[in-house]
Amino acid sequence: MAIQLTNSFGGHKEIFVPQTPDRVRLYVCGPTVYDFAHIGNARPAVVFDVLVRVLRRHFGEVVYVRNLTDIDDKINAAARREGVSIGVIAERYAAAYHADMAALGVAPPTVEPKVTDHLPEIIDLIGRLISSGNAYVAERHVLFHVPSFAQYGALSGRSPEEMIAGARVEVAPFKRHPADFVLWKPSSADQPGWDSPWGRGRPGWHIECSAMIERHLGSSIDIHGGGQDLIFPHHENEIAQGTRASYWLHNGFVTVEGHKMSKSIGNVLLVRDLLQEAPGEAIRFALLSAHYRQPLDWTSQTLHQARRSLDRLYGALRHLEGAEGEGDPAPYLAAFHAALDDDLNTPAAFAELFRLARSARDETSPAIRSALRSALVRGGAELGLLQDAPEAWFRRSATGEGEPDRVRIEALVAERAEARADRDFERADRLRTQLQALGIQLEDNGDRTDWRFDRNVITS
């Protein structure tokens, strides 16, 4: 079955066909490494990680490039405050980003270029834009002249005038047009800078991605991705600079309790802080719980719901442990794969996993039980989930202050099982109540009882 993707260039769902058969070239704008990653930064990393997994099911080779921006005025400011080089700041937060994304199950890209390693390519591209008449030099700056590119605004669907009115455009007397944007800017003696034909300076933000795409993927690529906030001006400017992609994909914003994340109101949720509250797999599940193109509103219940959902799926895997036979999982994954192939519809894919989990409860055929378990594991792998042993998940999910002693829990569960076997149901009920008071949820499966800890249901 073919993959369908919604192309932001036109806004329609299209069948995905790579430019080169069985080889996909994908570029996604990565982080600017001046601070720790928040969940808004994590969403595109997780979404496009899943897309790469889906593409690799269909195509022989997927070359995935995600950059690191390590030249930026925010990095400069942080370095100045600490009295260190920009490399110290960039390396610190790049390492933190890698650690946080790894905790969310995000695999490294095929190539992760850094801006500081691509100054020759950037300077060369700027020189070609000047030669073609698309850019000009003014007061030690190089600017792209927007009216020189007639298709400017085609991605966002707005005229230059509308975009100028709705965006923060730097006003400078040397600009030929208010929408002209910087390709190269001068650096003062105390700012990082590199030699160029236009003097010592540093690149503008937009030119770096175009240069790195050309260097690592060529003049035209299959997919260019990023957050919705990058459509204008970043991706619009990339197109003006010469970046060509068959499909442009953008994920929706992440809000917190209905509000945009902002340091001024104190609602920025850092991934590293959320990892103190829940396993990375729960955060990943939450980030995939809404369709990637739709907004995702993070509430006080988001992580709790994600953990409960994963408890159900891991509970099904635990129930299927020891299943023997050589059952074929492919028929059970058909609807799951169809959901992901339909514009990466993760909510529908999750619904299919839960349907498989429900089917497992009453299934007795060893071959079907084996096939269901394989389907859950394989489907989970495509989403970056369900790769732990069930008991490892439940141990990890049960961390936090107030967790009861495991030995005590097992003793109470065993005592209750003995009471049930003796048909002393009054005593069994008392033990269930005692366990519930400790925050233990029980699930009876025939002669076996599974349990999990949930701090949110502890009673006094």
Q: Which residues are annotated as a binding site for Zn(2+)?
A: 29, 209, 234, 238
With tokens 């100028």, the residue in question is 164
Determine phi and psi for 252, rounding to 5 degrees: -75, 170
Q: What DSSP designation does 85 have?
A: -
- Say what the alpha-carbon torsion angle 210, 216, 219, 220 is, to the nearest 10 degrees: -100
| Angle of CA points 284, 61, 48, to nearest 5° | 25
Beta strands in 67-206 (DSSP E): 135-138, 141-144, 181-186, 201-203
Contacts of 347 (CB under 8 A, 6+ apart): 289, 290, 291
CA 371 to each of CA 302, 320, 374, 377: distance values in angstroms, whole numbers, following the listed order = 31, 10, 5, 10
What pairing do the DSSP bridges indicate for beta strands 61-66 and 23-28? Answer: parallel
Q: Two tokens at 250?
A: 């953008």
Determine phi and psi for 63, rounding to 5 degrees: -100, 110
Q: What CA–CA distance (Å, rounded) separates 93 from 297?
A: 26
Known binding site for ATP: residues?
A: 263
Q: Two tokens at 44?
A: 């595109």
- One-letter identity of residue 49: D
Known binding site: residues?
A: 29, 209, 234, 238, 263
- Say what the alpha-carbon torsion angle 349, 351, 352, 358 is, to the nearest 10 degrees: 150
Phi-psi region of 199 (alpha: psi -120 to 50; beta: other; left: phi over 0): left
Q: Please, what is the angle between helix 39-58 and helix 86-103, to 10°? A: 60
